[in-house]
Chains A and B, each alone.
Chain A
Amino acid sequence: MRRRLHRSATLVAAATAGALLLGACGAGGRDDDGGDGDGGGGDGGGASAPGVTEDSIKIGAHFPLTGVAAPGYSEIPTGAKAYFDYVNAQGGIYGRQIEYVVRDDGYNPTNTSSVTNELVLEEEIFAMVGGLGTPTHSAVVDFLNDEGVPDFFVSSGSLQWGDDPSAYPYTFGWQTDYEIEGKIIGQYVAENMPDAKVGLFLQDDDFGDDAEKGVRQFLDDQVVAAERYTSGNTDVGPQIAKLQASGADMVLSFNTPSYTALSQLVALKLGYEPQWFYTNVGSDADLVGSLLSRFSEGAVEGGSSSLDGVLTTEYIPGVDQPDDPWVQLWQKVWDEHGEKGELTNYRVYGMSHAYAFVQALQAAGEDLTRDGIVEAMEEIGADLEGPQLAPFRYSGDSHLGISGMRIVEIKDGAGEDLTPVLVTDIGDAEITEDDSGQDGDAPPESGVPEAP
């Protein structure tokens, strides 16, 4: 008993000693001014913004460079980097060189969170540019906005990046969102194929949901089946079989490139031959072609002609239009500053949003601040000219990106226009023909946008 008492006395002594030790290095009371001064990105004027120095601007992005989502998507940052290098070689923006830091998240939101922490807190980037993926970017959008980091041109067409700027004031979408893509496709089918029995093949997240909302505005009566797949589950046999059983002779698919290849293979196996209509996201003919031959272990001949006859949409010119002045610029940039390999549509995508970011930097002026660039984008974003076929929708009320697209049919791996560029907005905004002239424009001689 005595020993026990003794023991606990020693324990108490040790604990007290520890507490005293802690207390000894204590520092008295805290100033109670709620001192959260640096929250919300209220950095003052001048070039004092994080990541910006006299002669450099550091920006970052998260992309899947490894893992299942890497094919295709990992090429986007190589394109963006080539364009930033091109701009740097011409003297940069207001004398500042752009430093572009890319981190791999493997399309896993947990990793996205940790690499974004690294980019923002360790690398101290000025802005996030082009972070890819709906589930991945959702994991960090709150953090970026809490820290006041401009979050430009998310590589995803989800509505959440731009439909409510008061919730995410620092976040901007870029590509045509899935809802208006659904609307434009829906109206086209309703007008041109009023007798088609329509089946929907949807990715089971915002992507499919937003698109379905758009499609059903015009096609609710014609839709005979809506099937969903979970990204990651490679067996889409049941879904395609149900579409076939429903008698659908036209399938509108909102899916990623891997699932374009998978759905084509399954349909081939089942002898199902509807008219396919793939979203822009899933219709890169070269990538789908190579995936087709890989998934079928060579049984199906891949190549860019594998999607011939399929309908899709486009909102920026791609490598299938080598005569387009924008594509010629991208080719020149890639030849001068690119890595090994060909110019692909994914690299063009990266260059296109890099171009828009350079425009944003120009518009924000010499005294670059985080709030300044956001305000500049809201002010002049809708008037920016660039590779996009239709203007951006940026304003104080909307941070959504490109306002429209046109419908094309793939022939010999290239898109053939079926409609002029159609523009609209989310909700019940009317679909109209675009009159901004963005479709026919050409880049400035230097290839670098001029300050507005």
Chain B
Amino acid sequence: MAALRTRAAGWWSGSILGRHLLVALLGLVVVVAVSESVSDFRNLQLASMAYLGIAAGGLTVLTGLNGQISLGHGALMAIGAYTTALLLDDREASTPLPLVVLAAVVVTLVVGIAVGAAAARLHGPYLAGATLALAVAVPGIALYFKEQLGGEQGLRVVVPDIPTWALDLAYFVTGQDLTRSRYVAYLAWFTLIVTFVLLANLSRSRVGRRWRAVRDDEVAAELAGVRLGRSRVSAFVVSAAAAGAAGAMMAVTVRLAAPSGFTLTLSLTLLSAVVLGGLGSLAGALIGAALLTFLPQVVTDLGVDAGLSDIRAAELAPLVYGVVMVLVVLLAPAGIVGTVRGAVLRRRGRSAPPAATTTGAAADPTTSTSTSTSTDAGPDPGASPGTSTDPDSTATTTSKGSTT
């Protein structure tokens, strides 16, 4: 029994991909369980949470791991959404959904390369400025090419009928008929899980270590042989591709791609979600997305129940969001996940006897593993804050304070 445990623990700390896939699988089970037990409306909210989560996940990799700030992710989502809308313009559109999502990702990726080339030369406020221009300009493109892109009213998206095999599979697994809302929620969460597994793997690989090296010290990174430009472009492109997938899911969920859905506010909202959750953490991105999705509706309902007029109740939502933002920045400057992780690390530092460090982390991985799994609950494959074999995990947490 003890041998099995040691072996499992060894596998856990040894195989990053395996670990991520296992968490992803658990996440999938949680998603199915949650989705099947809530109403159609909650499923559509879950789908919104998923597309915001995908975009925030991409952004958190860019900002948290590579130290670049993008104010243009809303525009990149618009590119993904419009690509989807153009491919799914009527019920007879025969392009299968996975291909549509792939096309959205590829188109956004190409735009990401172009913008990323600029990103390679700029950083800090200059990059923020350049991406800001993107956020302002892209909705304008939709207005200018009114004939093709529908102008102010945008393009409607017709989600193709649910394929029979999906209906059958869903019925086989859950015993319920698959509704459209649930189908959309599954699509969005499946995309989220795939994206997060890829992002998590990438950020723990050599590429991710280069990104972090560039973020922490450019000169040192360059001396160590990391090519700054290439590293920055690759981070931006990966992040853009995630935004493209998010845009595709947004189009499918909202059934519309219109310029007023992709204003600068969306980009800023994404950034605030990332800051709320904790820079550089995929779990944080997911928490931020959940706050963005559920907070306004919950607060408005509370306001109405408390007897406020509809207008007052509607005004309450942005107010509460603002207050939450201020509180998080004041009390938990590393974001929600960052602060929790910091607290856990500190406690572990207190309770673990100094002998643990002398014997070497790999020799006694069980203790550290159990704590690290307990910190990232939920369907989150990427946020495993690293076992003691990964020197980056502490670096990530500490640098967060300074970046924000």
Contacts and interface: CB of A to CB of B under 8 A. Distances in A.
Interface of A: 3, 6-7, 10-11, 14-15, 18, 21-23, 25-30, 35, 65-66, 74, 77-78, 81, 102-104, 107-110, 113-114, 117-118, 121-122, 134-135, 138-139, 142-143, 204-206, 230-232, 339
Given A14-B22, A22-B32, A35-B177, A27 B152 contact: no
A143 B11 CA distance: 49
Contacts of A27: 171-175
A77 B256 contact: no
Interface in B136-173: 143, 146, 151-154, 156, 158, 167-168, 171-173
Contacts, number: 148
A74 to B, nearest CB: 6
A30 B181 CA distance: 19
Contacts of B253: 113
Contact of A121 (B14, B153, B181, B317): B181
A121 B40 contact: yes
Contacts of A15: 21, 25
Nearest to B262: A110
12 contacts: A11-B18, A22-B173, A66-B315, A104-B311, A114-B297, A117-B40, A122-B41, A139-B256, A142-B255, A205-B152, A230-B143, A230-B152
B318 interface: yes
Given A21-B29, A35-B177, A104-B300, A110 B171 contact: no
Contacts of A25: 173-175
Contacts of B317: 104
Nearest to A137: B153
Given A29-B168, A138-B154, A109 B29 contact: no
Contacts of B175: 25-27
A114 B44 contact: yes
B254 interface: yes
B21 to A, nearest CB: 7
B300 A10 contact: no
Given A65-B315, A118-B41, A139-B258, A339 B151 contact: no
Nearest to B258: A109
B33 to A, nearest CB: 9
Contacts of A35: 177
B260 interface: yes
B18 A7 contact: yes
B309 interface: yes
Contacts of A135: 152-154, 258, 260
Interface string B264-306: 0000000000000000000000000000000001001000000
B309 A109 contact: no
Contacts of B314: 65-66, 103-104
Contacts of A108: 260-261, 263
B260 A7 contact: no
B333 to A, nearest CB: 29
A66 B255 CA distance: 23
B15 interface: yes
Contact of A7 (B11, B32, B154, B173): B11
Contact of A104 (B29, B151, B310): B310
A103 B42 CA distance: 17
Q: Is the interface of B mostly helix, strand, loop or mixed?
A: helix
B367 interface: no
Nearest to A208: B152
Contact of B297 (A118, A138, A142): A118
Contact of B39 (A21, A77, A121, A143): A121
B39 A110 contact: no
A60 to B, nearest CB: 11
A117 B261 CA distance: 16
B399 interface: no
B325 to A, nearest CB: 17
A110 B51 CA distance: 13
B154 A109 contact: yes
A197 B22 CA distance: 73
B201 interface: no
A205 B309 CA distance: 32
Interface string B29-56: 1001000000111101100100000000
Interface string B17-30: 01001100110110
A27 B174 CA distance: 6
Contact of B29 (A10, A18, A138): A18
Interface string B236-256: 000000000000001001111
Given A35-B177, A66-B315, A7 B172 contact: no
A292 B201 CA distance: 57
Contacts of A103: 300, 310, 314
B255 A143 contact: yes
Given A11-B15, A114-B44, A109 B256 contact: yes
Interface centre among A107, A109, A339 (most CB of B within 10 A): A109
B182 to A, nearest CB: 11
Contacts of B309: 78, 339
A204 B172 contact: no
A28 B39 contact: no
A26 B315 CA distance: 45
